[in-house]
C-alpha cells in the first residue's frame, strides 16, 4: 500500500513539528527572561521620563533568545548525560521524547544564541562596553549552565546563577540601556525579580531531587534537603513583597505589587504542604507566572503614577 502525501498532510506535519519546537523551548517559564527587561525598562522610564521602544523590544528579544538557547541546550545535554529518564516527573523534553535528536536540539540552541548575539550588536553599539560584557557573559553562561566539564545546573550554584542573570544583570542592563546610568531603585528591583526567578529553578530541582541523585546531579535542593528547600522557597517568593518599602520616590506605584501577595501565599502553602511529585510542575509554572505578574504590576504602577 502506497502512502499518499498531500499538501494537507505536509501542512499537518509541519504544524506538529513547529508545535514540538514551541514546547521544547519551555514556554511556561519564558516569562523569567521577559519580567526583568520589562521591570528595568519601565523603571528607567519612570525615573528619566524617557523610553526607547526599539531598544526595549530588541532587549526583550535578545533576553528571550538567550533563555530559549539555554533551555534547548539543557534539553539535549540532560538526555546525553542520562539525567532525563522515564522516571523523571517534569514536563516532556524534546530529546528524551524522541521529537528531535540531540544534535538537532543543540543546533536549535546555537541558532537561538546566534540570534541573541546578532540582536545584541545594536544594543552594544548604543550601550558601549558594559553591554558588550553583559551580552558576552550571558551567552557564555547560557552554554555553561549545562555544557562544559563542570555545568552550573549540576551544582549547588544554579539558583544563584538564575538570580544573577535573570535578576541583577537583566534588570540593571535593561535600565542602563534606557537611562545610560544606574540607580539604587534598579538594584532593589533586580533583587526582587531575581529572587522569584531563583524560586522557579528551586521548585524544578526540588521535584527532580530523587532522579537527579541517580545522575550525580547534586543541586542546592540536595544540600539543603526537602525541609530547608521549602523554607528557602518561601523566602524567595515572599521577600520581594518588601520592595515598596525600599523604593525611593516611587510614589503609590510600587505598592501595586501587593495585589499579587495572596497568589504568592497560596503558592507557598501548596509547596510546603504538597508532595514532591507532579504537583510541582504546576507550582513551577505558577511561580514563573507570579514573577511576570509581579513585574507587570510594578511596571503598571510606575507607568500610571509616572
Domain boundaries, the chain: 29-304
Residue 150: phi and psi, rounded to 5, are -130, 75
Spatial CB neighbours of 267, under 8 Å, sequence gap ≥ 6: 237, 283, 286, 287, 290
- pLDDT, tens digit, 9 for 90 and up, residues 183-212: 999 999 999 999 999 999 999 999 988 888
- pLDDT, tens digit, 9 for 90 and up, residues 113-152: 999 999 999 999 999 999 999 999 998 888 888 887 788 8
250 against 177, higher pLDDT: 177
pTM: 0.91
- Residues comprising the chain, all counted: 306
Cβ(282)–Cβ(271) under 8 Å? no
Predicted pLDDT at 79: 83
Residue 252 in 3-state DSSP? helix
pLDDT at residue 10 greater than cutoff 60: no
- pLDDT, tens digit, 9 for 90 and up, residues 215-240: 788 899 999 999 999 999 999 999 99
Identify the CA nearest to 97 among candidates 85, 83, 109.
Answer: 85
Predicted pLDDT at 86: 59
d(CA 262, CA 271): 14
CATH 1.10.287 describes domain 29-304: no
The rounded percent of the chain whose pLDDT value lies above 70 is 92
Amino acid at each position: 500500500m502506497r502512502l499518499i502525501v498531500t499538501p494537507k498532510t505536509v501542512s499537518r506535519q509541519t504544524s506538529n513539528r513547529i508545535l514540538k519546537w514551541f514546547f521544547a523551548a519551555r514556554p511556561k517559564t519564558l516569562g523569567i527572561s521577559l519580567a526583568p527587561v520589562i521591570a528595568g525598562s519601565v523603571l528607567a522610564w519612570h525615573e528619566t521620563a524617557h523610553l526607547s521602544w526599539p531598544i526595549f523590544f530588541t532587549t526583550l528579544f535578545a533576553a528571550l533568545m538567550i533563555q530559549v538557547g539555554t533551555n534547548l541546550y539543557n534539553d539535549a545535554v540532560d538526555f546525553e548525560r542520562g539525567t532525563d529518564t522515564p522516571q523523571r516527573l517534569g514536563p516532556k523534553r524534546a530529546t528524551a521524547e524522541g521529537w528531535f535528536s540531540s544534535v538537532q536540539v543543540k543546533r536549535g540552541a546555537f541558532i537561538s544564541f546566534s540570534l541573541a548575539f546578532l540582536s545584541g550588536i545594536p544594543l552594544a553599539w548604543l550601550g558601549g562596553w558594559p553591554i558588550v560584557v553583559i551580552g558576552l557573559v550571558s551567552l557564555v553562561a547560557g552554554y555553561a549552565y549545562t555544557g562544559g566539564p563542570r555545568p552550573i545546573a549540576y551544582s549547588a550554584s544554579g539558583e544563584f546563577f538564575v538570580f544573577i542573570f535573570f535578576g541583577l544583570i537583566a534588570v540593571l542592563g535593561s535600565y542602563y540601556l534606557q537611562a545610560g546610568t544606574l540607580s539604587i531603585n534598579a538594584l532593589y528591583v533586580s533583587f526582587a525579580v531575581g529572587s522569584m526567578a531563583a524560586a522557579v529553578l528551586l521548585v524544578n530541582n526540588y521535584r527532580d531531587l530523587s532522579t537527579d541523585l541517580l545522575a550525580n546531579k547534586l543541586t542546592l535542593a540536595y544540600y539543603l534537603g526537602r525541609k530547608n528547600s521549602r523554607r528557602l522557597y518561601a523566602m524567595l517568593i515572599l521577600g520581594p513583597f518588601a520592595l515598596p518599602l525600599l523604593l525611593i520616590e516611587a510614589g503609590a506605584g510600587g505598592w501595586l505589587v501587593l495585589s499579587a501577595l495572596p497568589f504568592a501565599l497560596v503558592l507557598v502553602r501548596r509547596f510546603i504542604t504538597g508532595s514532591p511529585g507532579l504537583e510541582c510542575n504546576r507550582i513551577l509554572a505558577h511561580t514563573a507566572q507570579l514573577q511576570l505578574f509581579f513585574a507587570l504590576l510594578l511596571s503598571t504602577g510606575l507607568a500610571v503614577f509616572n
